[in-house]
């Protein structure tokens, strides 16, 4: 019934046409991935984005996302889930031919450990985070994990902090490389996350060049970079070889495309035109609550998705 209600409430005819025959089969164990309603870019919602239609069970949410045309999910908190829940999620993704996007590797408290200090105990903790994440990634068929190097270290010159961060990332990369896993370092804006070390695209490029590992790349969150530096297309072009993963949210407000100042129609057209086939994480909230807001969210992505 929940999926029938979704069909009834959405005003998007193309979406309804794509979901119609699958909406009846809520209990099917072999639910097929979305057909002609699949998005061009691989947008990845989070759990909870569609719980008004799909309910609280994460497997039902995955089934709903697949029927709505999404081909991936993200789950920042995957590391903290039980092994049983991780396996259920992985099985549901495989059944729907969906990919697992990022989970967070090192969000212990307020982005601790902080590599900028150069303290051995913090580097050791960071490397342990990487080692502990390997099994989670294998279990959930994940490849990417989000990393934030921590806060600016007081009374330590910036070039020394940068060297400390590079060393910590190198050690963690050595753990991940044999498994083909990639930590994606995310620059964050100081308006929302004051005091964090990694902020800028040029800064990120410098660090990636020094680490020089296929297991250490950039997570380019366009919401954060619009707030920090703007010139989104120029900056992504400069860092293109180091960006295997994007996240989005409009600015200000950090909600779906069309609610702020970013021209996502042109940004997504550019990304698609460059041949990007990776995941675009939907790292944001919704501007409208309830089922109406969930319909509006899908329609927002329909409106900016490259044709």
Which helix H or strand E contains 280, and what residues bound it? Answer: strand 279-282
pLDDT surpasses 50 at 251: yes
Gap between the Cα atoms of 73 and 61, Å rounded: 10
Q: Report whether the peptide linkage leading into residue 117 is cis, meaning its omega lies within 30 degrees of zero.
A: no
Four-point Cα dihedral 71, 72, 73, 74, nearest 10 = -150
* 7, 182, 223, 249, 306 from 264: Cα distances, Å: 26, 26, 11, 9, 10
Gap between the Cα atoms of 36 and 15, Å rounded: 9
pLDDT score at 253: 97
pLDDT score at 11: 38
Gap between the Cα atoms of 251 and 248, Å rounded: 9
Q: Domain residue spans in the chain?
A: 2-304
User: What does the block give as tokens for 160?
Assistant: 């020394």
CATH code of the domain occupying 2-304: 3.20.20.150
pLDDT score at 108: 65
Percent of the chain with pLDDT over 70: 86
What is the Cα 101 distance to its own chain's centre?
6
Residues 211-226, mean pLDDT to the nearest whole number: 98
pLDDT score at 93: 98
**Lowest-pLDDT choice from 110-114, 221-225, 286-290:** 110-114
pLDDT score at 110: 52
Alpha-carbon torsion (92, 93, 94, 95), positive or negative: positive
pLDDT score at 36: 67
Q: Which of 7-21, 56-70, 95-109, 110-124 has the highest mean pLDDT?
A: 56-70
Span 110-169, pLDDT tens digits: 566 789 999 999 999 999 999 999 999 999 999 999 999 999 998 999 999 999 999 999
The SS3 call for residue 143 is coil
Span 178-193, pLDDT tens digits: 999 999 999 999 999 9
Let me know if 70 is exposed, middle or buried by CB neighbors in 10 A (0-12, 13-18, 19+). Answer: buried
Residues 62-85, mean pLDDT to the nearest whole number: 97
Contacts of 148 (CB under 8 A, 6+ apart): 106, 107, 111, 185, 186, 188, 196, 198
Span 77-122, pLDDT tens digits: 999 999 999 999 999 999 999 999 999 998 665 566 789 999 999 9
pLDDT score at 112: 65
pLDDT surpasses 90 at 35: no
């Amino acid at each position: 019934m929940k999926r029938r209600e979704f069909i009834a409430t959405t005003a998007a005819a193309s979406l309804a046409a794509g979901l119609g025959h699958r909406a009846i089969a809520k209990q099917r164990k072999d639910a097929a991935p979305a057909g002609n309603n699949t998005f061009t870019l691989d947008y990845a919602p989070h759990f909870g984005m569609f719980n008004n239609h799909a309910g609280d069970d994460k497997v039902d949410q995955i089934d709903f996302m697949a029927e709505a045309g999404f081909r991936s999910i993200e789950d920042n908190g995957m590391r903290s889930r039980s092994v049983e829940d991780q396996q259920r999620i992985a099985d549901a993704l495989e059944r729907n031919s969906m990919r697992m996007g990022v989970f967070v590797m090192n969000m212990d408290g307020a982005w601790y450990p902080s590599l900028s200090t150069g303290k051995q105990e913090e580097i050791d903790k960071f490397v342990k985070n990487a080692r502990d994440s390997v099994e989670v990634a294998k279990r959930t068929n994940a490849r990417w994990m989000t990393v934030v190097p921590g806060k600016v270290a007081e009374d330590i010159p910036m070039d020394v902090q940068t060297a400390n961060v590079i060393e910590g990332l190198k050690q963690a990369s050595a753990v991940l490389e044999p498994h083909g896993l990639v930590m994606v370092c995310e620059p964050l804006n100081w308006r929302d996350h004051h005091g964090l070390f990694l902020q800028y695209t040029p800064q990120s490029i410098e660090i990636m060049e020094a680490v020089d590992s296929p297991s250490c790349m950039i997570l380019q969150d366009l919401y954060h970079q619009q707030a920090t530096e703007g010139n989104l297309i120029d900056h992504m072009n400069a860092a293109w070889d180091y960006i295997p993963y994007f996240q989005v949210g409009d600015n200000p407000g950090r909600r779906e495309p069309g609610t702020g100042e970013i021209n996502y129609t042109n940004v997504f057209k550019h990304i698609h035109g460059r041949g990007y086939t990776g995941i675009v994480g939907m790292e944001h909230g919704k501007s409208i609550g309830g089922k109406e807001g969930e319909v509006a969210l899908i329609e927002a992505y329909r409106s900016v998705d490259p044709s």
